[in-house]
Amino acid sequence: MRLSVNNLACERGERRIFEGVSFTLSAGEALVITGRNGAGKSSLLDILAGRLRPAAGAIHLDGAGERTLPECLHYVGHRDALKGALTAEENLSFARSFLGTPALKTREALEAVGLAHAARLPVAYLSAGQRRRVALARLLVAHRPLWLLDEPTSALDTASQETLRLILEEHREKGGMIAATTHSPLFLRDAKEIRIERTRTPPPSGSGTPDPDGGGGKVGEG
Ligand SMILES: Nc1ncnc2c1ncn2[C@@H]1O[C@H](COP(=O)(O)OP(=O)(O)OP(=O)(O)O)[C@@H](O)[C@H]1O
């Protein structure tokens, strides 16, 4: 399986955020996406996940057979997208049946992120780091080759960051692919890196509200 991204551009609120983003991701590879606040890292993941339409460029997934790109990916965003009134186990059971292609059982996934003891607690009772671990356990309850992760280590303590790193490396060893935004090192083996920088296009004169991020530069692949 291979993901090819060519000359992607992003616009939000009629502002060009970035342009010229190109990369490839093959089975077993990881891509780390860096850049300043507001550079467009989450927007890039949103485009890959099919949540946002690109202003230009193309995305191709080869080797997926009949499956579409959204059917081949897991997306874990800034928000954990969990139901607070449901237990950790119930949240994962829902994800497991909704996403299809079941993998680990919910208990096994919670064990993998060190949260088996909290399986029956409503997610609203969990700490931010614990909720994050439940959200990441979703990756394990359904098989999806491409994992899109927006700052996956946020709110995680050092031990949980290491657990996550091992989970990510195991996914890659099985031929999985990962694209993750981050502000801190993820310590992934031989990861590709791309740095996103804001496109410097002044807003049309007299138009709307000022850009909160002030505009920026261009994209570089590392
Ligand atoms: N729904 C939206 N409508 C309009 N503009 C948006 C929207 N969401 C984000 N933006 C703008 O898009 C730009 C890129 O935001 P994005 O969240 O992709 O950046 P980021 O690199 O992930 O930032 P951070 O490191 O702070 O998470 C920002 O200028 C932001 O204000």
42: CA distance to ligand 1 center in Å? 7
The pLDDT of residue 7 is above 80: yes
The pLDDT of residue 218 is above 60: no
Give me the pLDDT at residue 205, please: 52
* Separation CA 7–CA 47 (nearest Å): 13
Burial (0-12, 13-18, 19+ Cβ within 10 Å), 174: exposed
Give me the pLDDT at residue 80, please: 86
Pairing between strand 30-34 and 192-195? parallel
Total-model pTM: 0.91
Give me the pLDDT at residue 214, please: 55
> Going by CA atoms, what residue is nearest to atom 16 of ligand 1?
40
- Ligand 1: atom nearest CA of 45 is 18
Average pLDDT of span 16-44: 97
**Could you tell me if the CB of 176 is within 6 A of ligand 1?**
no
Domains of the chain, by residue range, sit at 1-64+150-222, 80-144
CA 100 to chain centroid: 19
Give me the pLDDT at residue 65, please: 92
Give me the pLDDT at residue 108, please: 97
Residues above pLDDT 70, as percent of the chain? 90
Q: Angle at CA 151, nearest 5°, toward 27 and 9?
A: 70
Write the DSSP symbol of residue 204.
P
The pLDDT-based confidence of 78 (bands split at 50, 70, 90) is: confident
Do the Cβ atoms of 2 and 29 come closer than 8 Å?
A: no
What's the one-letter identity of residue 128? A
Each residue of 152-187: pLDDT tens digit? 999 999 999 999 999 999 999 999 999 999 999 999
Burial (0-12, 13-18, 19+ Cβ within 10 Å), 28: middle
- Ligand 1: atom nearest CA of 44 is 18
User: CATH assignment of 1-64+150-222, given 3.40.50.300, 2.30.110.10, 3.30.479.30, 2.40.50.500?
Assistant: 3.40.50.300
**Could you tell me if the CB of 209 is within 6 A of ligand 1?**
no
**Could you tell me if the CB of 216 is within 6 A of ligand 1?**
no
Give me the pLDDT at residue 28, please: 98
Give the pair of three-digit tokens for residue 28.
Answer: 């077993």
* Separation CA 170–CA 153 (nearest Å): 17
Give me the pLDDT at residue 217, please: 42
Residues above pLDDT 90, as percent of the chain? 85
* Separation CA 114–CA 125 (nearest Å): 16
Range in 67-76, 88-97, 168-177, 212-221 the model is least confident about: 212-221
Mean per-residue pLDDT of the chain: 91
Give me the pLDDT at residue 195, please: 97
This model of the complex carries an ipTM of 0.97
Give the pair of three-digit tokens for residue 46.
Answer: 């949103």
Phi, psi torsion values for 60, nearest 5 degrees: -130, 140
219: CA distance to ligand 1 center in Å? 16
